[in-house]
Structure 1
Amino acid sequence: MPYDVVIVGGGPAGLSAALALGRARKRVLLCDAGPRRNAAAEHLHNFVTRDGTPPREFREIGHRQLAEYSSVEVRDVRVEAITGTRGAFQVKLKTNTVEARRVLLCTGMIDEMLGLDGFRELWGHSIFQCPYCHGWEVRDRKWGYLARGVESLHFPLQLRGWTRDVVVFTGAAFDVPEPMRARFGEMGIRLETRPVARLVAHENRLESIELSDGTTIPCEVLFAHPPQRQVDLVRALGVGLDEEGYVRVDPMTRETSVPGIYAGGDLQTRMQGAIIAAASSVQAAAMLNHELTVELATAEVAGGRE
């Protein structure tokens, strides 16, 4: 008997979708394996009732709640390939192959660490992507932002709300337009255009940023947006991607360019966060439930007439 939906990925997105579909009495397989994107994070924030929860504990709570729904199965197994068509997908797992009427991708993204000395070790401890997730705990400290292009220069403007000490590092990689320089000056944001040599830290806590000429800039918290890429499974499926590499979905149904395959969570937007990922996946689950209910009920009635 095929699953109604196979969900790939068991973070906040996959867990939320599985819960919604389980409560809708759909037969679901949640495949949760592979490296955790937020493994380096100490706590999950900005998620009401779960603010400050460690990611591992969040998953454990999710698994316990899903256990109440007999139609939901959670496996610690990797999805290796997906073939077939809408209504009849073959999902190859490491242990066996299962069938599914629909597939929901909640795989997140892979963050590619910058080649800056100390970057990988500090990721999730002193280097963050989202001030809404981590800003409160490090408020009023010395903050920095690694800007990778002109298009990223609007981001540090909001950091001024958490601290008065903000330095934007461009690493001499691009020219900063005069209007933006003026805006930084008006807001008391320092602009540092010299190349960055390395990050100076004690254990896993950032202390300063050393520039190519040996100058050190005191910095306790660094925000950065390193390049991201899709996991191999998503790329192999050939779903349509936008110009930034995120999966294109229908804004209402969350269906991708491949009929029957849906996406929720971070893999389809740069606006990333646990609660945002959960919300988009619940939307996908609701659309899937509606579609499957109509499909299955129609087939059941038609079968009864034969």
Structure 2
Amino acid sequence: MSETNQRYDVVVIGGGAAGLSGALALARARRSVLVIDAGSPRNAPASHAHNYLGREGIPPLELLAIGRAEAAEYGADIVRGEVVSAEKLAGGFRVARADGGVVEARRLLVTTGIVDELPPVEGVAERWGNEVLHCPYCHGWEVRDRPVGVLALSPMAVHQALLWRQWTDDVVLFRHEQADFGDEEYEQLAARGISVVDGTVEGLEVADDRLFGVRLAGGTVIPREAVVVQPRFTARSAVLESLGLVPTEMVMGEHVVGSYIAADPAGATDVPGVWVAGNVANLMEQVVGAAAAGLKAASMINMDLVTEDTRRAVDARRAPFSAEAERQVTERVLGDRRHGLQETR
């Protein structure tokens, strides 16, 4: 069906793993579904997605293409566009796009994800998703047994270094501009054979389209083939904020690492009729987890709609009987009045 002047059961905002998984489940439940996707998936720079059972190593964009085809096969409409705001209506929502398009929905599933805000170190943004990494479960195997550097950009730096040590015994922690570590932390690093390098990191050394070292202030270059950084994970929450939802800060080790939209375990937010799934609700979610969250939210949305449909059906069923009962009461009252008049005569 066309999205023009259409009121859908569900509009899904965001066409990543969570959004497409939710759209697929809802379309299979015979719901009218529209997916509006801005076309900027977070994992686009990565060459492969991992830990997705049955799809291990698939390129992220290929996974999304398959997901779009599967959802469309069951009748979901999928369009490219940016949603700028949503408005609560009686019985649903109005969704506005940047191109001026407007569509209405009974329920919303928002899966807009997060933005990785990278540190301002030369070369980090350019090599992000290639040799500049943050998740060992996503990329650790690919850099196993290779020299890895961890930039101490947050209080989680020692934790990161110890974690990445699982994949390689050649880990260097660059203290950068962080305060000195505690004695216990130094002991842990030494016990695991992790070197600590003092000095500010000036940038990454790149040649022939590949990373080969970390450059310190003063020009010293420490050879590394992969570098780990800690981005700030910021929820893409503009649409949700237009509905009155406020992002919540996520704190790890007394350090704010990002923001997310709070929801119950099934993705229901504090705004009735609005669900969230994927990274916008869980900063640590990987692709397979995001897909699972989309499915869970979709099942709850469908049940919510079933409840509403049932209530409406019951009201409609009762309406004729109510009208007939009212007619009978009216006739009885009128009959009593006529009978009373006859007696007084």
TM bucket (normalised to shorter chain) is over 0.9
Amino acid at match of 1:247: I
CA distance in structure 1 between the aligned counterparts of 2:155 and 2:100, rounded to whole angstroms = 47
Tell me, yes or no, if structure 1 residue 75 matches structure 2 residue 79: yes
Tell me, yes or no, if structure 1 residue 106 matches structure 2 residue 111: yes
Tell me, yes or no, if structure 1 residue 131 matches structure 2 residue 136: yes
Query: 1:74-132: CA deviations, max 9, x gaps?
Result: 11122121011573100112352111111111111111232111111101111112111
Instruction: After superposing the two structures, state which structure 1 stretch, 291-300 or 147-156, moved more.
Output: 147-156
Amino acid at match of 1:269: N
CA distance in structure 2 between the aligned counterparts of 1:175 and 1:238, rounded to whole angstroms = 42
Is this contact kept in 2: 1:206–1:220, CA < 8 A? yes
* Count of paired positions: 304
Query: 1:206-262: CA deviations, max 9, x gaps?
Result: 1100111322211111122212323333444431322222111112x3112322221
Tell me, yes or no, if structure 1 residue 144 matches structure 2 residue 149: yes
Tell me, yes or no, if structure 1 residue 185 matches structure 2 residue 190: yes
In the alignment, what sits opposite 2:20? Answer: 15
Q: CA deviation at 1:149?
A: 2.2
Query: Among 246, 249, 259, which residue is 2:263 paired with?
Result: 249
CA RMSD of aligned residues (A): 1.8
Amino acid at match of 2:297: A
Query: Among 278, 281, 297, which residue is 2:310 paired with?
Result: 297
Task: Report the secondary structure of 2:88's partner residue.
Answer: strand
CA distance in structure 2 between the aligned counterparts of 1:297 and 1:95, rounded to whole angstroms = 34
Query: Among 286, 294, 299, which residue is 1:281 paired with?
Result: 294
CA 1:292/1:197 → structure 2, altered by over 3 Å: closer, same or farther?
Answer: same
In the alignment, what sits opposite 1:270? Answer: 283
Query: 1:10-59: CA deviations, max 9, x gaps?
Result: 01111111111112222211111242322211111111111111122111
Is this contact kept in 2: 1:136–1:162, CA < 8 A? yes
CA distance in structure 1 between the aligned counterparts of 2:301 and 2:281, rounded to whole angstroms = 17
Task: Report the secondary structure of 1:282's partner residue.
Answer: helix
* Match runs of 1:162-201 below 5 Å: 162-201=167-206
Unaligned runs of 5+ in 1: none
Tell me, yes or no, if structure 1 residue 212 matches structure 2 residue 217: yes
CA distance in structure 2 between the aligned counterparts of 1:153 and 1:256, rounded to whole angstroms = 35
CA distance in structure 2 between the aligned counterparts of 1:271 and 1:36, rounded to whole angstroms = 16
Task: Report the secondary structure of 1:154's partner residue.
Answer: helix
Q: CA deviation at 1:182?
A: 0.8
Amino acid at match of 2:80: D
Amino acid at match of 2:260: Y
Tell me, yes or no, if structure 1 residue 259 matches structure 2 residue 264: no
Structure with bigger helix share is 2
Is this contact kept in 2: 1:85–1:260, CA < 8 A? no
Instruction: After superposing the two structures, state which structure 1 stretch, 176-185 or 83-92, moved more.
Output: 83-92
CA distance in structure 1 between the aligned counterparts of 2:19 and 2:157, rounded to whole angstroms = 29
Unaligned runs of 5+ in 2: 1-5, 251-258, 320-345
Identity over aligned pairs, percent: 39
Query: Among 229, 239, 247, which residue is 1:233 paired with?
Result: 239
Is this contact kept in 1: 2:86–2:96, CA < 8 A? yes
Q: CA deviation at 1:168?
A: 1.6
Tell me, yes or no, if structure 1 residue 41 matches structure 2 residue 54: no
